Amino acid sequence: MIEVKGLTKFYKQIRAIEDVSFTVEKGDIVGFLGPNGAGKTTTMKIITGFMPPDSGTAKVAGFDVFENPMEVKRRIGYLPENPPLYNDMTVNDYLRFVAEIKGIESKKIGEETDRVSESCGIKEVRKRLIAHLSKGFRQRVGIAQAILGNPEIVIFDEPTIGLDPNQVFEVRSLIKELAREKTIILSTHILPEVEMTCRKVIVIHKGHIVAKEHIEDLLRRRTKISEMTVRVKRFSIELMKQIKDRFDVKVNQPPEMDNGFNIIFESPEDKREEIAKYIVDSGFGLLEFRPVTLSLEDVFRELTTEEKTA
Amino acid sequence: MRNILAIFKKEFKIYFDTPVAYVIFGIFSLISGYFFLQIFSYFQRQSLQFLQYQAPQMLEHMNLNDMVMRPLFLNINVFFLLMIPVITMRLIADEKRLKTYELLMTTPVSTWQIVIGKYLASLSVILAMVLIVFIYPILLSFFGSEGGLSTGSIEWMPLITSGLGLFLAGAAFAALGIFASSLTESQIISAIVAFGLLLLFWVIGWASAGAEGVLKEVLRYLSILEHLDQFTKGLIEIKDVIYYFSVIFFGLFLTQQSVSSQRWR
């Protein structure tokens, strides 16, 4: 569906992306994950035909973005980082306008705007001026705009940024809903967002792609079973010592943790069951025993360092 | 065509659903009304004077078309120079500021369609302003002949050509204005650049005073305010029409180039 090869883009002297290649299959939901400034938006802007790359090609549904921009634009719905809204228009007028410039037949415009307002939950604000909408509604109008005309591919640039937790939840469920019938690319710098909505993930860092994998693989990377966190009710330094000696593992206590510590296994042997049993039996009051989860930054660090050594 | 219409309708709505158009019309009526009042009362004073001094040959020159409407149109032409940058300043600059530019550039609409649609919307405002000017001759046709002056009748043909000329002049100004708007995302910069461009196209004619021969003619021809003159005399001269259309085409072409080149930066 989307085929990107060797994209490179410089802004003046600054490299935004370099040699970015990936493919997205029909029906995929791909998360485009990376910290701010990694080149996510640049890549998306190139795929949508907003700007050309300095080198490389992007093909959407078999059409080259720069030889056949109109064909590509007809097939993509795009929600930029800032929803492209006209404050002086009502939601209804705005949707009608977008429907018109997307080339939807006049007869079907009413039906189409009804459909997207329904699925994005903006029916009750349709007569309101966009300037008066809350951030959450603005975002939803932005999404409604992107899915007008039922494009095969929908691209969302940071769709949940700046929303409150409830709104974030709603927008994510909306995207999941869409994912049933569309190919979706979604960019974010929030790891759980990708976990919750996407099936595949492309990790981009400093303009380079550092990983392309299924979400399960990323999750596996993220949870290190070789390192466990223990929290107990009655913590004493004694427990750490006992575990260290008994099970031949490394222990360390991060400074911010006052009722627990981390256990680092050095051999591949799985000792988790025995350790758990031991802590419970010796009456320290086990509260928590879980694999250490890496933060996004740690994942990046791991991914980027791995690339280098490979 | 549908796309142009869609863009036009959107811009038209923004002009007329917000106070923008009405403020422009209000201020325009105020100022043009003041022009009219001043010119007309001067005309009245002069007519009375000529009547007193029994100078019928002078009185013959005193007609409303030449002595009131013509100067009114020429003055409004100068006023357009100030007003039109304000009308066109947001057309493209504001899309960039609001990031709605990305929407336009990622939907299947060509840059020409965007530029033409927006331009036509600004012309609708200018057309309305030209129509406002026609309030004054209509007033004159009702009340101008009171007092038994033979001078008080209105000839409509020259007024129609004047209106056409004024509209073309406005259209030419707007084409340069929309170009200025395509250069920046700040409406203020857009208005200042447009204003500067228009002023430059005006004062370029002043140099013709010191020039000679062909150069003198060329400089005169380039001057943007020069071309309404014949229209106000009731004459549509092909060279003036060509001038206005060249400026319009030139402005729109540059705008289109500027909009599509933005993708390459």
What pLDDT is attached to residue B144? 62
Contact call for residues B166 and B73 (beta carbons, < 8 A) = yes
For helices B20-52 and B70-88, give the axis angle rounded to 10 degrees: 170
Structure tokens at B190: 């857009």
Chain A residues inside the 8 Å CB shell of B93 = none
ipTM: 0.85
Domain range enclosing B181: 2-264
CATH 1.10.287 fits A224-309, yes or no: no
Residue of A44, A45, A50 to mutate when probing chain B, most B C-beta within 10 A: A50
Whether the pLDDT of residue B7 is over 90: the answer is yes
pLDDT of residue B93: 93
Span B190-200, pLDDT tens digits: 999 999 999 99
Torsion of CA A225, A227, A232, A236, to 10 degrees: 160
pLDDT in tens, A292-303: 777 666 776 766
10 Å CB burial of residue A299 (0-12, 13-18, 19+) is buried
Least confident of A267-281, B89-103, B148-162: B148-162
Residue B264 predicted with pLDDT over 60: no
Mean per-residue pLDDT of chain B: 89
Helix, strand, coil content of chain A in percent (nearest 5): 40, 30, 30
Phi and psi at residue A270, to the nearest 5° = -90, 110
> Could you give the CA distance from residue A85 to residue A95 in angstroms, rounded to a whole number?
10
Residue B152 is predicted with a pLDDT of 58
Q: Is pLDDT at B163 greater than 90 in this prediction?
A: yes
What's the sign of the alpha-carbon dihedral B20, B22, B23, B28?
positive
* Alpha-carbon distances, residue B51 vs B42, B78, B135 (angstroms): 14, 32, 28
DSSP A173-211: HHHHHHTTTSEEEEEES-HHHHHHH-SEEEEEETTEEEE
- The angle subtended at Cα A286 by Cα A284 and Cα A288, nearest 5°, is 145
Whole-prediction pTM: 0.84
Q: Who contacts A251 (Cβ-Cβ below 8 Å, separation ≥6)?
A: A240, A243, A244, A261, A262, A263, A264
The two structure tokens encoding residue A178: 């869409």
* Residue B145 confidence class, pLDDT cut points 50, 70, 90: low
Please tell me the distance from the alpha carbon of residue A14 to that of residue B210, in angstroms, as a whole number. 51
Mean pLDDT computed over B74-81: 93
The number of distinct structural domains making up chain B is 1
pLDDT tens series, chain A, 310 aa: 889 888 888 888 888 888 889 988 888 889 888 887 888 888 999 999 888 888 898 999 889 988 888 889 999 999 998 899 999 999 999 999 999 999 898 899 999 999 999 888 888 999 999 999 988 889 989 999 999 988 999 999 988 887 888 888 888 888 888 888 889 999 988 877 887 888 888 888 888 888 887 877 777 777 766 788 888 888 888 888 888 888 888 888 888 778 888 888 877 777 888 888 888 888 888 888 888 777 666 776 766 665 444 3
A66 and chain B: CB distance < 8 Å anywhere?
Answer: no
Nearest 5°: the CA angle A237, A241, A244 is 140
Tell me what the mean pLDDT of segment B125-143 comes to: 90
CB contact under 8 A, B106 and A145: no
CB contact under 8 A, A78 and B100: no
A186: closest CA among A50, A303, A73, A81? A81
The DSSP letter of residue A267 is: S
B200-236 pLDDT tens trace:
988 888 888 888 888 888 888 888 888 998 898 888 9
Contact A84 B100 (CB under 8 A): yes
Nearest to B36 by CA among B182, B134, B177, B116: B134
Task: Enter the tokens of residue A180.
Answer: 């049933």
Chain A, nearest residue to B111 by Cα: A70
pLDDT(B136) > 80: yes
Topology at the third CATH level for domain A2-206:
Rossmann fold (3.40.50)
Q: Where are the domains of chain A?
A: 2-206, 224-309
In this structure, chain B runs to a length of: 265
pLDDT confidence of B123, banded at 50, 70, 90? very high
Distance CA B162, CA A132 (A): 44
CB contact under 8 A, A52 and B98: no
pLDDT per position as a tens digit, A157-183: 988 887 888 888 888 888 888 888 889
What's the pLDDT at A308? Answer: 43
* Alpha carbon of A7: minimum distance to chain B alpha carbons (Å): 15
Mutate to test the interface with B, among A88, A108, A145 (most CBs of B within 10 A): A88
